[in-house]
Amino acid sequence: MTIHREGYTIIGITIALLAILNGICYLFAGDTLWLLWLVGVFSVVFFLLILQFFRYPKRSLTRNDRYVVCPADGKVVVIEKTFEAEYFKDERIQVSVFMSPLNVHANWYPVSGRVKVMRHHPGKKLVAWHPKASTENERTTLVIERDNQSEILVRQIAGALANRIVFYPMEGDVIRQCAEWGFIKFGSRVDIFLPLDADIAVELGQKVTGGVDVIAKLKS
């Protein structure tokens, strides 16, 4: 288990603020030992929560050209046929994975190919499971063109607690399935838009692991 690079600054700031808090408490609390203990326990618990949020576990990744691999840790909250209005402008199967603050928040490419579209949209901070979150919240849109020219769209969506979406690819990049492509800080969701003939390999409510579990199997 390692710490993701996106957490270095926040962890450093957290350590500094907690050190200041404990120092002030030590100077002014006097003999009030219960207050010193309370602040100390709070500091340890808060630091561990921040640390676990930015954990980056080592995994045996799943790679197969016919598979769409899960791009995020979390729980499957949507499996439905829907109209994708931003890019495809037609019906697709949408699979959405909700990432709670307790999940690993790195994101992985679900398929290999070329980055055809990479867009970032500023927006609101609706809760990630809200129906309008995918069109009104801060979000990114990534379209991957596979070698056979079929396309997969993946969307990072910030939730009510998320304060920043990080994404690494640029249009034209050649990318490999299960390589890391981004990070969402403090609560979020990832939507995957698939061809209508894709065989969905997950169920509603299922807990999934990014880079490991298979979301769907493609016909071609």
Cα–Cα nearest to 159, from 134, 178, 192, 195: 134
Q: In the numeric block, which tokens belong to residue 105?
A: 């928040």
Q: How confident is the model at residue 209 (pLDDT cuts 50, 70, 90)?
A: very high
pTM of the model: 0.84
Q: Out of 60, 112, 188, 220, which one is annotated catalytic?
A: 188
Question: In the predicted model, what is the mean pLDDT of residues 8-27?
Answer: 91
Check if 150 is active-site. Answer: no
> E-assigned strands of 122-202?
139-145, 151-158, 164-167, 174-175, 180-185, 188-194, 199-200
Instruction: Report pLDDT digits (tens) over 112-130.
Output: 999 999 999 887 766 655 6
Terminal-to-terminal C-alpha distance of the chain: 36
How would you class 95 by CB atoms within 10 Å of its CB: exposed for 0-12, middle for 13-18, buried for 19 or more? Answer: buried
The values of phi and psi at residue 200, to 5°, are -70, 130
Question: In the predicted model, what is the mean pLDDT of residues 23-50?
Answer: 86
Instruction: Report pLDDT digits (tens) over 37-95.
Output: 898 899 999 999 888 888 888 888 889 999 999 999 999 999 999 999 999 999 999 99
Give the dihedral of Cα atoms 29, 34, 38, 44; nearest 10 deg: 90
Q: Measuring CA to CA, how many Å separate 69 from each of 36, 41, 200, 212? A: 48, 40, 11, 7
Domain segments of the chain as ranges: 2-56, 67-217
Q: In the numeric block, which tokens belong to residue 179?
A: 């390589």
Residue type, 26: Y
Concatenate the DSSP letters of all residues of 54-114 into one string: TEE--------TTEEE--SSEEEEEEEEEEETTTT-EEEEEEEEEE-TTS--EEE-SS-EE
Return the pLDDT at 5. Answer: 83
Look at the chain and count its residues.
Answer: 220
Residue 214 · residue 69 · CB < 8 Å: yes
Return the pLDDT at 10. Answer: 87
Domain boundaries 67-217, corresponding CATH code: 2.70.70
Residue 74 · residue 104 · CB < 8 Å: no
